[in-house]
Structure 1
Amino acid sequence: MKNTSRSRTILYFNNMILTPLYLLFLLTTSLFPIFCNSYTPTENITVACGSSDNTTAPDGREWVADIVPNYLSLLEQKHNSSIPSPAQRPSPQASFVPYLKARISLSDFTYVFSVTAGQKFIRLHFYPYIYQNFDPSKAFFSVKANKFILLNNFSASLTAASLGSESSDYLFKEFCINIEDEDQTLNLTFTPSSTPSDAHAFINGIEIVSMPTNLYYTPAEAQDGITFIGYEQTPIRIENNTALETVHRLNVGGSEISPVEDTGMFRSWNDDSGYVSNIGALPVNHSFEVLFTKVPNYTAPAQVYMTARSMGNNKTVNKNYNLTWNLPVDSGFTYLVRLHFCEFQVEVTKQSDREFTIFIADKTAEPQADVIVWAGRNHVPFCRDYAVMVSQGRDQKKQNLSIALHPNPESTTVYSDAILNGVEVFKLSDYSGNLAGLNPDPVPPPASPSTPQPANTGKQKTTPVAAVVGGVLSGVVALCVLALLIFRQRRRDKESGFGKSSYTAKKHDKMSGPLLPSDLCRRFSFAEIKTATDNFNGDLIIGRGGFGDVYKGCTDDGTTQVAIKRLKQGSQQGAHEFETEIEMLSQLRHLHLVSLIGYCNDEGEMILVYEYMSRGTLRDHLYGSDYPSLPWKRRLEICIGSARGLKYLHDDAKHRIIHRDVKTTNILLDDKWVAKVSDFGLSKANSNLAANTAISTVVKGSFGYLDPEYFRRQRLTEKSDVYSFGVVLLEVLCAKSPVNRTALERDQVSLAAWARKCYQNGTLDQIIDPHLSGKIEPECLKRFAEIAMKCLDDEGTKRPPMNEVAWTLEFALELQEGKKEGIKTDGADVEFKERDLNCQIGPVGSDDGQVSTSGVTMTSDGGTSFTTDGSDKMSSGAVFSEIMNTSGR
């Protein structure tokens, strides 16, 4: 399966040692409509890097030397830091251009291409081999294309080895980027990594090929985006500020399609046999004319639509399994999945002949797929696009992205079957323009053959008994040694002050404290943290608080942006919350909760590491900053996401968890505006299975958000979070601080009290954010205000649970969009919709700050965090996860 494995990186010219007959066939493909080029690219640049002469490849394409014309930057031409070099003893598989030579360097070098504006394919070809005594295992480098990071600390050797191929095998990476109108220059910069010290960069070949506008991008005039699996109400758009990497391009059920057989863009289409877990049937039909009436004829070669995989005609068998493809992808990215369909089987000609369900990443993408309905008739190609997020995973560099088909019941379809003709999967760049994944782990060398043992004879009948006795004795000795080691380790832990679940920081020369399971949380050394923050460079501070500073940093050789909280040494309050936050977040995984990447408890330091949240806090976008006003629909979506996160804490986590500090500065936003609840330093786990069971505890929280019943009775329940969330809803609606000490009228100091009075008087519209004036549908506003007031009820038992809050907000969003009318949301007849709340990993950030004053802890937004000792007297204390000045994150 060597070629199949190699196709994971879309290997080029698979074993193409062309015979003259095949070459003649390629040169005359224009005579065959099935192989005709349907698109002529504006740019079709092929560069043989390190070569001094133009060379024609076996497929007839001419590759030009990189110095004729000179594509190297003027700076590179001046300093000549890179050198051309032939490959020493190239393998037969790489004995043709562009793999014969390479450009290689120990320092940066850049190629500059003047191109027209528009969307382009970029293909980078690599042949990891020895060039002038450069060790290919030392080739670690990054590649940047204008503002996009295509590769980071990339190793072609490790990549080739992970594909099941020999180190001599070649490979290429394909990307799609847009060249802006005002730019029209493509700069490709190759930068050796900092480690090892003799790391170098190299490149064998570069292709730049224009693509049809919006082949994979969302047209600007399009009203809708791409269905986002799991978040169908918020489709996404792939716009020109996004780059793509081709991860898989498969001709399902057919053979490989070479670049010259593509529709003019020189794409490679691999066979799918290495990825499909249930082979199914292989229908083929070359006797019909492919009618490109729904998609352009350059979308995919006609061969793709003439072959397919289906489940066959055994209905009994079909209903018991899924036709499934498992496609390896990098963790932590969003992917575009394009599925190609064409009904060509003679028995399938009309609607409902073949209906099936499509699952992507174990979620329902299409409950009722009918190719005839989509295409209008048979013989007409059609493709469907979906976006899906692959979570960061638990120390998994790669995960399998599954595509599964299952036939619908016989009551809805004639043939209990499913069909698929082609698949394309693209990785989407993140908010920082990064596409780079991690290198695969080194492939261990094959085990040496064991020494043959002599055959048993009659004289050796006692040998098995001796072996058994010896094995038992060895096992006993091993167990004794293991028990001794465990005893010594526990004694050492006890003497060091670290129990099973203690994270109290102590000074040690080496790392101290327990290790969390590697699949839940990563432990960083202090040296790694210093590297990630450039030795705590003050220019990287993105927030300050009573607990210490927050830095923007990068881990894993710059591939992962993170927020790093560093606790001030000696802070006992912060130490307790450090422990709480690790214990909570290391066990929680949900799309709308922050994700803890790791922590450092080394050399007396207490540091938490989260994923970096680019858009900061919700409050940043409501008031007190220069950010533009958020539209109402986006505010509703943020509220819905936050409510889902709290609902998970209250109902779906292993133990019921009460957040205890819900506020707009603890709701963070990622680059796609997905809301995530953060800051678990004050949280309490309630192991009692009964909902709303109170916990006796000292009062902690923030002024303006604090549940008055909790404050009076010091009895904490989930309904305390509901009250705080009601204040959040008012902030979202009114864009006002929960506490305004400069208010001229006494009843306007508390936003909750002011809004409740206005609601009762019918004047709530007078305190709504002026930016929303006339932009909220009356029914939507009615439902939103109703649920906010219910959350703020003085009696906790009368407040709604978070699942009701989440559903009502979803209903308000539907009313805003005019989808539903006249549905009552109060009373016992309400039917609450349970949404898909499967756990996923989401990014993390930090919040605004606190400045400690006498007797209370004042937050920078005018709120106050405090604790009490059971009396009415306030005691000081800084909430650990508060951050000041978060703008610019």
Structure 2
Amino acid sequence: MANSKKKAPSMSNSPKIRFSCLLFLLLQHLFSVLVNSFEYHAVENLAIDCGSSGSSTSDLDDTRSWIGDKGSNDLFSLIEDEKDSVDAKTTDRSAQRVPYDTARLSRSQFTYSFRLTEGQKFIRLHFFPSTYDNFNRSNSLFSVQAGTFTLLKDFNADYGDVSDQFVPREYCINVDQGQTLNITFIPSLAHPDCYAFINGIEVVSMPTNLYFPKPGGLNLLGYDGTFLNIEDSRALETVYRINVGGSQISPNKDTGMYRYWNDDNTYVEKSYEASRQLPVNTWPKNYTLIRNYTAPDEVYSTARSYGKNIPPTYNVTWNFEVDPRFTYMVRLHFCEIDPDITKPNQRVFMIFIADKLAEDRADVVSWTSHNLVPFCQDYAFFPDHSGSSKQLNLSIKLQPVQTTFGYDAILNGVEIFKVSETGTGNLAGPNPEPRQSPPQSLVPPNKPPKSSKATTILAAVAGAGSGIIVVSLICFLIHRRIAQASSNNGSSKWRLISSLSSKSSKSQSSSLPSDLCRYFSLGEIRAATNNFDDILVIGVGGFGKVYKGYIDEGTTPVAVKRLKQGSQQGVHEFKTEIEMLSQLRHLHLVSLIGYCNDSNEMILVYDFMARGTLREHLYDTENPPLSWKQRLEICLGAARGLNYLHTGAKLSIIHRDVKTTNILLEEKWVAKVSDFGLSKFGPSGMSISHISTVVKGSIGYLDPEYYKRQRLTLKSDVYSFGVVLLEVLCARQPLLRSVEKQQTSLVQWVRKCHENGEIDQTVDPFLRGTITPQCLNKYVDMAFNCLLDDGNHRPSMNDVVWGLEFALQLQENIEGTVVGNSEVEKKGEERALLTTILNDDVETDMLFTSTDESSNGSRASKMTTTSSEDRSLVSGMVFSELFDPTAR
């Protein structure tokens, strides 16, 4: 009885026990469902084995059945213009796996039409270059379109670096409601035997906004405060998908979207022997990764790390080649997998993408609030020389910020996507370089090749004959050109011979104008900079480093600007700077002494500017503040330099990057405009007021008309110079994010204060009480005229020059301390006389300003007549003005 009484309570509690067990099982099930819910289940999951029938399992993922394209299917259909496509099987044993062992081929256009649900899709195309039946691999030349997007253009499967291997291409495309997705293969018309082919097609749904970011946009690297929206009306192409620190990840191990992840061994710098991986088995047993479908667990459970207590100069770099003509989205994957790092500020590092600062204090735990939590960060990158067709090195560099904890940087994964061009929808880049010898199959039909012996004899005879003709023609042209040049002056004759000899020189084989400026060998540059000694570095930028050097046996100081070694970034700007500056000489332009392009180096040599940039004397500096008169004279000098660019030559030049860091100061505080890498020749002809070009420049200085409409004018420089005028007055940068919102934009803040009659509040405190009211009013009015929204209403740079001269005169008149009253009156009379002379348009024969054709057909150059005293005042209007002719 006693025992039974003791058991009774336990029996009464049994329902609670059963309930607790059920609750535990339910929670366990919910947790399992929650975890498994991150395994994405695609709405569309099509895998088409082109050129086959039935279904088969692919070695690509081991899980899906690939269906053939022969016969009818409810999800897609094959549309052929000529009904002449064939299905064929390759004889290449290396391709004996689905979908690469069969192909659909045709010499006419054919289309796969897909009926899909609304949303974003992965489109994967699989190619295996091979000979199929009567289709020779070297004749595969075709384009591929998906809807309004061009995915491939004149794609040739027989190019050296894609032959003999599988070629998958992946794209992200949005499908609108009720839209049919058509993927069309179009053979080239270059040759009657050209054909298109495809081995396999995948169409897989992706989660909404997985790669198409939500509103707000991505930080556009190199353009502070600018964000790029990648709407789903554009398409993406996957260029790289990398599992950092881990091994390759096959599609069946992805999170339901069958993506392939490569390892990073090919891309990471090999010079860091201390590199190590941090695999998941380093975690405590009770740790579980919080999962999501952005990337597989294997990506977040491995990383590349370089140890603890590393030197401050350490960094880890990955290099990726990309086509410089496109914009790119770069996604970096992070997960703090070190169990000892649980708080912010323990692991802090900087991120550089394409040598542009993306994050100055990256802190994974701060981003995620915990370790073992996956996280990804997206950035947009637009190459600085979009006109080049050469491959660009897009580097990713991580450098730790030293803290008391001493941890290094960490990275788990990288994805890089090409963004389709706006308007055209183009994603197609150039083919790789072709093989050295053209394929025999491209010999025109009905013209069989000759025997080897006959071909050799024929080639020898033809070569000798053509050589004689070419040499004769060259000699005739040289004789004619020299005869023409000698009728003008001796220097033209020297330039012609110099140009011809430079083109024949192995070290100067480029088209760069060595006849107009000095060519330096790499040995001379190394000697001038003590082999690029870091002690001589006087500046660093996205382009590379600037060194102080000495040439002419150490007697002449120079500035040596070295673009990053081995990188193709900046090639266009390098050539532009040389071609522009080598033909320009002016007191207020930085003079280019010469260049070097030996051994893939890109180096420019300029006059050394002892005082550095204007910005270095305005704010964030230890230099003493400039007086108001010094600032006025510097602005006036810069305005004269810009006015010379706009009006001093036959073709006007738009600088396109006017800012205080591009205004340099020599020892005697003479201002010189520098950096012509982005410059453009202005519009030619009275009927053309602008040139249409991609927006480039510096955020905070960009003309709104140019930024919004891609229309570049001379007045775009005027707007940028207006920002410079306010920057000089207020001693603060154009954009500040550390102040109140209404003060973020310098232009808007000063304009608002001006409207409220509070302009004094914006003036640099050092200058308060030193600027005369008349001078300040004239200066501010000039600045705001430059900043008018309508470019047609802005003054010309010539008007700006006169406005600043007048402001300087007002300051000097009131001060009465720098010059006496008689001198002021004399200056005023000189300016009045000069104005009269300019308005009367008196002309005399001089070289290099404007070119007119006389009645006898000869061409003479003209310039306005002034006295030698007045010539300094109109220095902005004289072409090729050279104040120190011995300097060259």
TM-score between the two structures when normalised by the length of structure 2: 0.52
In structure 2, relative to structure 1, the CA distance for the partners of 1:658 and 1:501 (3 Å cut) is farther
Q: Is the 8 A contact 1:336 1:425 kept in 2?
A: yes
The match for 2:89 is 86
Q: Is the 8 A contact 1:106 1:199 kept in 2?
A: yes
The match for 2:233 is 241
Whole-Å separation in 2 of the counterparts to 1:114 and 1:371: 42
Q: Deviations over 1:199-219 (max 9, x none)?
A: 211111100100000001122
The match for 1:61 is 64
Secondary structure of residue in 2 paired with 1:584? helix
Per-residue deviation, 1:870: 3.0
- Determine if the alignment matches structure 1 residue 168 to structure 2 residue 168: no
The match for 2:117 is 116
The match for 2:420 is 429
Work out the percentage of aligned pairs sharing the same amino acid.
40
2:217 aligned partner, one-letter code: G
Alignment of 1:441-456 (within 5 A): 441-442=433-434
In structure 2, relative to structure 1, the CA distance for the partners of 1:490 and 1:34 (3 Å cut) is farther
- Determine if the alignment matches structure 1 residue 659 to structure 2 residue 625: no
Alignment of 1:528-567 (within 5 A): none
Per-residue deviation, 1:493: 3.5
Secondary structure of residue in 1 paired with 2:104? strand
- Determine if the alignment matches structure 1 residue 284 to structure 2 residue 279: yes
Per-residue deviation, 1:85: 1.5
Q: Is there any run of 5+ residues in structure 2 with no aligned partner, and where?
A: 1-31, 438-469, 514-574, 585-633, 659-664, 674-681, 687-699, 710-714, 751-760, 769-790, 793-838, 854-888
Secondary structure of residue in 1 paired with 2:382? strand
Secondary structure of residue in 2 paired with 1:660? helix
2:116 aligned partner, one-letter code: V
The match for 1:150 is 151
Alignment of 1:512-527 (within 5 A): none
The match for 2:406 is 415
Q: Deviations over 1:631-671 (max 9, x none)?
A: xxxxxxxxxxxxxxxx99x989xx98943169xx9999xxx
In structure 2, relative to structure 1, the CA distance for the partners of 1:78 and 1:188 (3 Å cut) is closer
Secondary structure of residue in 1 paired with 2:418? strand
The match for 2:187 is 192
Q: Is the 8 A contact 1:397 1:438 kept in 2?
A: no
Per-residue deviation, 1:693: 7.8
Whole-Å separation in 2 of the counterparts to 1:146 and 1:867: 63
In structure 2, relative to structure 1, the CA distance for the partners of 1:218 and 1:34 (3 Å cut) is closer
Q: Is the 8 A contact 1:143 1:149 kept in 2?
A: yes
Q: Is the 8 A contact 2:703 2:720 kept in 1?
A: no
Per-residue deviation, 1:55: 2.0
User: Alignment partner for residue 364 of structure 1, among 346, 350, 357?
Assistant: 357
Whole-Å separation in 2 of the counterparts to 1:240 and 1:75: 26
Q: Deviations over 1:349-400 (max 9, x none)?
A: 2111111111110111111111110111111111111111124478553122
The match for 1:354 is 347
The match for 1:308 is 303
Alignment of 1:228-267 (within 5 A): 228-267=220-259
Q: Deviations over 1:579-621 (max 9, x none)?
A: 9999439999xxxxxxxxxxxxxxxxxxxxxxxxxxxxxxxxx
Per-residue deviation, 1:251: 0.7
Q: Is the 8 A contact 2:322 2:392 kept in 1?
A: yes
Whole-Å separation in 2 of the counterparts to 1:311 and 1:234: 33
Whole-Å separation in 2 of the counterparts to 1:230 and 1:378: 30
Q: Is the 8 A contact 2:79 2:113 kept in 1?
A: no
Whole-Å separation in 1 of the counterparts to 2:406 and 2:349: 9
The number of residues matched between the two structures is: 545
2:414 aligned partner, one-letter code: V
The match for 2:260 is 268
Whole-Å separation in 2 of the counterparts to 1:96 and 1:50: 13
Per-residue deviation, 1:492: 4.2
In structure 2, relative to structure 1, the CA distance for the partners of 1:691 and 1:490 (3 Å cut) is farther
Question: Greater RCO between the two (CA within 8 Å, min separation 6)?
Answer: 1
The match for 1:329 is 322
Per-residue deviation, 1:789: 13
The match for 1:141 is 142
Q: Is the 8 A contact 2:117 2:175 kept in 1?
A: yes
- Determine if the alignment matches structure 1 residue 824 to structure 2 residue 758: no
Whole-Å separation in 1 of the counterparts to 2:647 and 2:738: 26
Alignment of 1:614-763 (within 5 A): 658-660=644-646, 691=670
Per-residue deviation, 1:99: 0.8
Whole-Å separation in 2 of the counterparts to 1:817 and 1:289: 51
The match for 1:493 is 478
1:100 aligned partner, one-letter code: D
Q: Is the 8 A contact 1:290 1:302 kept in 2?
A: no
Alignment of 1:773-788 (within 5 A): none
The match for 1:465 is none
In structure 2, relative to structure 1, the CA distance for the partners of 1:875 and 1:495 (3 Å cut) is closer
- Determine if the alignment matches structure 1 residue 584 to structure 2 residue 580: yes
Q: Deviations over 1:791-834 (max 9, x none)?
A: 59xxxxxx94998899765469987765477973557569xxxx
In structure 2, relative to structure 1, the CA distance for the partners of 1:267 and 1:825 (3 Å cut) is farther
User: Alignment partner for residue 202 of structure 1, among 197, 200, 224?
Assistant: 197
Secondary structure of residue in 2 paired with 1:137? helix
Per-residue deviation, 1:487: 13
Q: Deviations over 1:179-200 (max 9, x none)?
A: 122x521011111223244221
Per-residue deviation, 1:98: 0.8
Q: Larger Cα Rg: Structure 1 or Structure 2?
A: 2
1:162 aligned partner, one-letter code: D
The match for 1:882 is none
Per-residue deviation, 1:82: 1.9
In structure 2, relative to structure 1, the CA distance for the partners of 1:802 and 1:344 (3 Å cut) is closer
In structure 2, relative to structure 1, the CA distance for the partners of 1:788 and 1:660 (3 Å cut) is closer
Q: Is the 8 A contact 2:512 2:578 kept in 1?
A: no
Whole-Å separation in 1 of the counterparts to 2:127 and 2:704: 56
The match for 2:373 is 380
Q: Is the 8 A contact 1:869 1:875 kept in 2?
A: no
Q: Is there any run of 5+ residues in structure 1 with no aligned partner, and where?
A: 1-30, 446-484, 522-578, 589-646, 669-674, 679-685, 695-699, 705-724, 736-751, 753-783, 793-798, 831-846, 849-865, 879-889
The match for 1:177 is 173
Per-residue deviation, 1:402: 0.4
Q: Is the 8 A contact 1:105 1:200 kept in 2?
A: yes
Per-residue deviation, 1:60: 2.8
Per-residue deviation, 1:313: 2.2
Over aligned residues, Cα RMSD in angstroms? 5.7
1:54 aligned partner, one-letter code: S
In structure 2, relative to structure 1, the CA distance for the partners of 1:501 and 1:489 (3 Å cut) is farther
The match for 2:396 is 403
- Determine which structure has the larger helix proportion and give its number: 2
